[in-house]
Amino acid sequence: MFWYDTTIILLIPAIIITIIAQIHVKSTFQKYSRVNSLRGYTGGMLAREILDKNGLYHIRVEHTQGHLTDHYDPRAQVIRLSDSVYNSTSVASLGVAAHEVGHAIQYKEDYMPIRIRQAVIPVTQIGSQLAFPLTIFGLIFSWDPLIWIGILLFIAVVFFQLVTLPVEFNASGRALRTLEGDGILGDTELEGAKKVLRAAAMTYVAALITALANLARLLALANRRER
């Protein structure tokens, strides 16, 4: 029966990994948000300086509400930094701010993985919303094409999560090289920023694992139908 879905067990390891990753990033950020940088940059100031050094004068830096809601919006060409980053001088906030600027530089340099990720976003949005309903309806009505349309849509979601990894790791690498190369953070401070960005990167690894687990669920359901 569809309501007795034993495939849910495939999600348990992914859920555990995701919880651990979320706890780790929050605790690591909190720890290094109490360590102030010696040069006194705020996240907003640092983002503006790195942008200008890379000729990205047209990209705005704005304050946005929330905690760790920092992101670069390529359409609006604005970097939005959260409450805990924009006005903070902590090692953690500088790492996050530099990371978001890293995304803006990726677009400037036409970094291929971020262009690919941007291109698949529309399909990903459709897939994340419709993949499971289409698959379930296909199973209920015994219509195999609908099942496989749902699975193919979710494969796009998995691909998005996969291509996100090099994008995020590359942005963090750019951030750390800038913080070190420009002498913005000392060795001890830089180590703290590295730990924050590594912890954040693990949340994207967890997201990929979760997507793979859900894809495995869909394939298991389709296999059950074939039997």
Catalytic site positions: 100
Q: Are strands 78-81 and 71-73 parallel, antiparallel or unpaired?
A: antiparallel
3-state secondary structure of 80: strand
One-character DSSP codes across 5-38: -GGGGGGHHHHHHHHHHHHHHHHHHHHHTTSB-T
Residue 6's CB is within 10 A of a number of other CB atoms, namely 10
Q: Tokens in use for 198?
A: 């590594």
Q: Which stretches of the chain are DSSP H helices?
A: 12-32, 43-53, 83-86, 91-108, 112-140, 144-181, 187-226
What gap in Å lies between CA 8 and CA 196, rounded to an integer?
A: 32
Helix (H) or strand (E) holding 73, with range, is strand 71-73
Task: Please report, to the nearest 10 degrees, the dihedral formed by the alpha carbons of residues 5, 10, 15, 20 taken in order.
Answer: 160
